[in-house]
Amino acid sequence: MKLSAAFTLQDKYLINYRKNKIAIVLRGHNSINPIGLVIFDVLYNATINDYKVKLYSEPNANSQTLSFFYEGNKVKIIDQTEDQYEIDGESWYWYKVESGTYPIGWVYGKYLDIENQDN
């Protein structure tokens, strides 16, 4: 099977403020009007860096605790809060994570070693 496409990117890409999505606007070969939009999720790998880290249902230490992670557990970051939150004098983002073993939930950034994330 042969596939072909008549699209050019024309340097049109956007990354959202949460750094977890890339949107590419597709335009026809001789067209100025967009004819498509492709959105990709950008997932970051992370490792839990402390013992018995709480996994919360919401990005808030007062929300329900879903489970606990342990030092060395691997997760994928699928989202983050727009703003940092201060807890005990330190400011970090909250990260929404999935691991395959635990439910999807939120971890305070202090407890994650994030790989390959541009700051």
**pLDDT given for residue 43 in this prediction:** 74
- The CATH number linked to 88 is 2.30.30.40
pLDDT in tens, 24-63: 666 666 656 666 776 666 678 999 999 999 999 999 999 9
Domain match, 75 and 49 both: yes
Spatial contact of 98 and 41, defined as CB atoms under 8 Å apart: no
DSSP state of 83: S
Does 119 fall in a domain? Answer: no
Q: Between 12 and 96, where is the model more confident?
A: 96
Q: Where in the sequence is the domain holding 63, given as residue range(s)?
A: 44-114
106 phi, psi to nearest 5 deg: -115, 140
Domain count, the chain: 2
Q: How many CB atoms lie within 10 A of CB 102?
A: 15
Residue 36 in domain = yes
Label residue 100 by pLDDT band (50, 70, 90): confident
Per residue in 4-18, pLDDT (tens digit) is 333 444 444 444 434
Examine the domain organization and report whether 21 and 78 are in the same domain: no
User: Does residue 3 belong to any structural domain of this protein?
Assistant: no
Rounded mean pLDDT of 73-89?
A: 93
21 and 58 in a single domain? The answer is no
What's phi and psi for 110, nearest 5 deg? -55, -30
**The Cα angle at residue 114 between residues 105 and 117, in degrees rounded to 5:** 110
Compute how many other C-beta atoms are within 10 angstroms of the C-beta atom of residue 106. 22
Give the burial class of 103: count Cβ atoms within 10 A of its Cβ; 0-12 exposed, 13-18 middle, 19 or more buried.
Answer: exposed
My answer on whether 67 and 14 are in the same domain is no
- What gap in Å lies between CA 98 and CA 46, rounded to an integer? 10
Residues 24 and 70 in one domain: no
